[in-house]
Chains A and B, each alone.
Chain A
Amino acid sequence: ELKVEQNPLFLSMQEGKNYTIYCNYSTTSDRLYWYRQDPGKSLESLFVLLSNGAVKQEGRLMASLDTKARLSTLHITAAVHDLSATYFCAVEPEEYGNKLVFGAGTILRVKS
């Protein structure tokens, strides 16, 4: 069974601090997605990582993908309150057809 594991599941941090969310997956894949979800809302696409070594940055968020280690990271730099949300990684596995398998999500709370 394909597993996608995120950690931590809950992260409370002070404004201005840095932190990293980790996403491990158990199958071969060269496509990984990061989404943001605000309470009661839909999934907002943050990053699409398409190959080993891919790194993308948008504002205070940077995502990377290591397909050999089956690991993606979402790094938060100098957090601000507006980043408070739930962050999901999702893997598009090569051998399971065309679909996304999501991690459990990381609830991020940035305190002023």
Chain B
Amino acid sequence: EPEVTQTPSHQVTQMGQEVILRCVPISNHLYFYWYRQILGQKVEFLVSFYNNEISEKSEIFDDQFSVERPDGSNFTLKIRSTKLEDSAMYFCATQTGIRNGYTFGSGTRLTVV
């Protein structure tokens, strides 16, 4: 079964540093998402991305966050200046089309120290 691959699986970074989280979507999927889950809490929507632009973003997705699909394959989430409260599990999700099922990646655990 096709998978959504995320790298790295775990990243530890110092507060104020930039991090880039990477996602390789399933090849025929066109819609891409980032969600995050703070330890022990619910999963929260960050941003959706289609046709090389952001479709929607949540209040969490402030100016410190950005997404892009630079080479047509990887889908990345960048956090410019990490804060302690950015520590969470970040999940990439993809879809073939609107209102189709979502496939979640394995996640990246980000720890900001």
Binding site for B on A (CB under 8 A): 31, 33, 35, 40-43, 45, 48, 88, 90, 92, 97-105
A43's partner among B41, B43, B99 (CB-CB below 8 A) is B43
Interchain CA distance A19-B45 in the complex, whole Å: 29
Nearest CB in chain A: distance from B51 CB, A: 12
Q: List 9 A-B contacts (CB under 8 A).
A: A33-B101, A35-B104, A43-B43, A43-B104, A45-B101, A48-B101, A98-B48, A98-B99, A100-B93
Nearest CB in chain B: distance from A104 CB, A: 5
Q: Is the CB of B43 within 8 A of A98?
A: no
Q: Is the CB of B91 within 8 A of A102?
A: no
Q: Is the CB of A102 within 8 A of B44?
A: yes
Interchain CA distance A42-B106 in the complex, whole Å: 5
Interface residues contributed by chain B, number (CB under 8 Å): 24
Q: Is the CB of B102 within 8 A of A33?
A: yes
Looking across the interface, which residue of chain A has its beta carbon closest to that of B31? A98
Interface flag for B25 (CB, 8 Å): no
Among A31, A45, A98, residue most surrounded by chain B Cβ atoms (within 10 Å) = A98
The 4 closest A-B pairs by CB, nearest first: A102-B43, A43-B104, A99-B45, A97-B56
Q: Is the CB of B104 within 8 A of A98?
A: no
Interchain CA distance A32-B60 in the complex, whole Å: 23
Q: Is the CB of B102 within 8 A of A45?
A: yes
Nearest CB in chain B: distance from A7 CB, A: 13
Interchain CA distance A83-B43 in the complex, whole Å: 20
Given known A-B contacts A42-B91, A42-B104, A42-B106, A99 and B43 have beta carbons under 8 A apart: no
Q: Is the CB of B43 within 8 A of A88?
A: yes
B69-112: which residues lie under 8 A (CB-CB) from chain A?
91, 93, 95, 98-99, 101-107, 109
